[in-house]
Amino acid sequence: MSMFMRLISPAVLIVLLGVGMSSAAIVPITGVNAGVNGKPPYMLESITVGDFTITSEFLALGKSAGSTFPFSNIRYADDFNLNTAAIRNGSGAWRVTNIGGLNTYSDINGEDPDFFLLEVGMNDPVVVRAILADGTLGQAIRISKSAWGDTGLDRVGILGGGQPIGGIAFAITDLLDAGGQPLAANTAIRGLQFNSENMDPVHFSAAMIPEPATLAILGLGGLLILRRLR
């Protein structure tokens, strides 16, 4: 995190997040900044969707549950390390909850995209349902495999090595309630359930403003380091 970002208030952050507005929809991720000159090891720094770019400070991770192929781990989706991927093969549903460490997630950026999903191969469709605040499920939305955008990164590793890493972004208002209607922009959800049992997630995150307490701790940590250096 830059010193500039540490010093500005959450209110200012909201304004900054509004820069580069793009209408929410299910859209391809058009670029991911990671690695050195685009070469591995890949640590995610920012995600771009058209004219909208979000940096990792504003991306909250979740807590994944579900099965994977042997020697893989579903929690590989829950970090900024894009060298690890949760390789799956008829592995059933994948659920992500506890986004940003919170019980529920709500939109913070208006029309800008809320959810960011990266997958090995760009070759699997996505079926996703909202896990509503009461734990029940919304109806499924189905996203064709042609929707993946090429991030420009290729998977390194034994499972799925050499395959392109694709990305899609979508908003909470793209998800459906139990009656099949789009969720209202102010809906609080517990998380997401992906029923696409062959999709191989590399990363999942949601747009979130860092907590003021977190920013304060980061700032304080910086001060302590400076004091030690004296």
Contact 136, 183 (CB under 8 A): no
Closest CB to Ca ion among residues 207, 215: 207
Using the contact rule CB under 5 A, the part of the chain among 29-37, 57-65, 121-129, 131-139 near Ca ion is: 121-129
The number of CA neighbours under 13 Å toward the Cβ of 24 is 22
CA atoms within 13 A on the CB side of 197: 6
Number of residues in contact with Ca ion, rule: CB under 5 A?
10
In the bound state with Ca ion, the residue whose beta carbon lies nearer, of 122 and 140, is 122
Residues 135-194 that bind Ca ion (CB under 5 A): 171
Which residues does 39 contact at the CB level (< 8 Å), separation at least 6?
A: none
Record the tokens describing residue 90, joined without a space. Answer: 């008829």
**Nearer CB in complex with Ca ion: 34/208:** 208
| Identified binder of Ca ion from the candidate list 55, 56, 67, 123, rule CB under 5 A | 123
Least Å distance, CB 64 to Ca ion, is 16
Q: How far is the CB of 85 from Ca ion (least distance, A)?
A: 9
The residue number whose beta carbon is nearest to Ca ion equals 121
Task: Kindly give the residue spans of alpha helices, DSSP state H, lying in the chain.
Answer: 3-7, 10-17, 212-229
Stretch that binds Ca ion, among 9-17, 29-37, 43-51, 198-206 (CB under 5 A): 198-206
Which lies closer to Ca ion via its Cβ, residue 57 or residue 107? 107
Interaction pattern, residues 88-117, with Ca ion; x per rule: CB under 5 A: -------------------x-x--x-x---
| 206-144-35 Cα angle (round to 5) | 45
Phi-psi category of 216—alpha, beta or left, where left has phi over 0 and alpha has psi -120 to 50?
alpha
Pick between residue 38 and residue 164 the one whose CB is nearest to Ca ion. Answer: 164
Q: In sequence order, which residues have a C-beta less than 8 Å from that of residue 126 and are 6 or more positions away? A: 117, 119, 142, 143, 145, 147, 168, 194, 196, 199
Binding site for Ca ion (CB under 5 A): 107, 109, 112, 114, 120-121, 123-124, 171, 200
